């Protein structure tokens, strides 16, 4: 079964600083990888996804992520963080299960942005 590890439960960065959120996955085949963002009391919004091809993927809100097969990683990056980026970020891996995509989430990383 697939699994996701997000080693950082909580990260604090200054506004304008760069950001990298770590994600490691476990899956026997080529994974489908996602990053979602969740604001307090809200559902999850898809930031970006990787299925194949270019290992550097661009998403919404200026985020990007890089798939590194050798490290089983899919880290999320942003060059300059804005106060509105404060939220919880979930990495997820999708795997084929009975003909559909079953998505498994990590426990999330809560991002705090300080002035």
Partner 1 sequence: DTGVSQNPRHKITKRGQNVTFRCDPISEHNRLYWYRQTLGQGPEFLTYFQNEAQLEKSRLLSDRFSAERPKGSFSTLEIQRTEQGDSAMYLCASSLGNRSTYGYTFGSGTRLTVV
* Contacts to partner 1 by CB under 8 A: 4, 32, 34, 36, 41-46, 49, 51, 90, 92, 94, 97-98, 100-108
User: Smallest distance, Å, CB 108 to partner 1?
Assistant: 5
What single-letter DSSP state applies at residue 17? S
β-strands 87-97, 100-105 pairing: antiparallel
Q: Which is nearer to partner 1, 34 or 81 (CB)?
A: 34
User: Smallest distance, Å, CB 39 to partner 1?
Assistant: 10
Q: Which is nearer to partner 1, 78 or 94 (CB)?
A: 94
Closest CA to 74 of 22, 1, 4, 15: 22
User: Smallest distance, Å, CB 26 to partner 1?
Assistant: 15
In contact, 9 and 69? CB cutoff 8 Å: no
Q: How far apart are CA 21 and CA 9, in angstroms?
A: 10
Q: Which is nearer to partner 1, 39 or 71 (CB)?
A: 39
């Amino acid at each position: 079964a697939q699994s996701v590890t997000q080693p950082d439960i909580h990260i604090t960065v200054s506004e304008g600083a760069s950001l990298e959120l770590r994600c490691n996955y476990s899956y026997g085949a080529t994974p489908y990888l996602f990053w979602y963002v969740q604001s307090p009391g809200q559902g999850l919004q898809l930031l970006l996804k990787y299925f194949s091809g270019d290992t550097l993927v661009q998403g919404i809100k200026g985020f990007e992520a890089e798939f590194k097969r050798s490290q089983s990683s899919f880290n999320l990056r942003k060059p300059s963080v804005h106060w509105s980026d404060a939220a919880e970020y979930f990495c997820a891996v999708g795997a084929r299960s009975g003909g559909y995509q079953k998505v498994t989430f990590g426990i999330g990383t809560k991002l705090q942005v300080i002035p």
